Amino acid sequence: MSSSGRADEKEWEGSHGEELEQIEIELLLEGVHRFYGYDFRNYALPSLRRRIWHHAHAEGVQTISALLEKVLHDRACFERLIYNLSIPITEMFRDPQLFLTFRQKVVPMLRTYPYIRIWHAGCSTGEEVYSMAILLHEEGLYEKSRIYATDMNARSLQQAKEGVFDIKRMKQYTKNYLEAGGTRSFSEYYTAKYNSVIFQPFLKKNMVFAEHNLATDGSFNEFNVIFCRNVMIYFNDELRDHVHGLFHESLSHFGILVLGSKESIHFTSYSDSYETLDRAEKIYRKIK
């Protein structure tokens, strides 16, 4: 073949390669949705694409079509895919300034309520939920609170229920706790065992853990506060709007919505339904 023939072939492969990849990704997501009921079709494409390829290589397959076949015929491979697509990265008192602002601006409002219901949507392995339980305990509010911790990833949720974390992370978590306004010795809240720590059982007393998928499941209660941080950054605009609809429906009047540091209620269909309580920390209050 002449060199111009090879160049033509490369160009053809390049443009058709992208088109083919797009088709294969759509077929994978369609297959996963139809067979397992998990809907990733409205996740933002660039990061989804990267994670699908990462998973394909980890499974030892060369194409996304081959991955689809493996995922459909091997449930364990599907479960590993869910784990890889879910990015279960989190930490205790993540963005400590947010927890400090929450203590200063939201806790005084919560004191006036007879009963407090908080939903952590996309709670991952639970670090955010234990942080909230500690904060409410220190503010004397935990007894009248119930914390609902949900995630689509059953494996992460199981870790959250156990409340066992890597001891190596405690140095960072102690620093976060103090920056978040904690006044005690952080080690009061856990017992070390080998390379892990287990958090005090009383912290779990008012926690409820449940599988819930923001893309496909509906509202299940009315809440005074909803935390959903670093979850919707992986969604496209359509899915993000859908989830904001779910949160709006699930919040009581004057309910508080807390988003992640890179997120905002602005530029969603619900921006007029909230007032900003703290712009920097992404804390909003439902007003209509």
Ligand X SMILES: C[S@@+](CC[C@H](N)C(=O)[O-])C[C@H]1O[C@@H](n2cnc3c(N)ncnc32)[C@H](O)[C@@H]1O
H or E stretch including 199? strand 196-199
Are the C-beta atoms of 225 and 98 separated by less than 8 Å?
no
Q: Which of 30, 41, 47, 127 is nearest to 84 (CA)?
A: 47
Per DSSP, 214 falls in state T
Which pair of structure tokens corresponds to residue 223?
Answer: 């809440």
What would the x/- binding string for ligand X be over residues 148 to 187, using CB under 6 A? Answer: ---xxx--x-------------------------------
Q: Does 124 bind ligand X (CB under 6 A)?
A: yes
Among 122, 163, 182, 255, binds ligand X (CB under 6 A): 122
Span near ligand X by CB under 6 A; candidates 21-29, 102-110, 121-129, 280-288: 121-129
Q: What is the DSSP string of 69-112?
A: HHHHH-HHHHHHHHHHHH-----TTSSHHHHHHIIIIIHHHHHT
Alpha helices by DSSP H, listed for 139-280, are 154-162, 170-179, 237-250
Span near ligand X by CB under 6 A; candidates 45-53, 88-96, 137-145, 261-269: 88-96
What would the x/- binding string for ligand X be over residues 236 to 255, using CB under 6 A? Answer: --------------------
Span near ligand X by CB under 6 A; candidates 51-59, 81-89, 179-187, 194-202: 81-89
Among 204, 229, 244, 248, binds ligand X (CB under 6 A): 229
Strand ranges (DSSP E) for 107-161?
116-121, 145-151
Q: Does 90 bind ligand X (CB under 6 A)?
A: yes
The contact set with ligand X (CB under 6 A) reads 86-90, 94, 122-124, 128, 151-153, 156, 213-215, 229-231, 260
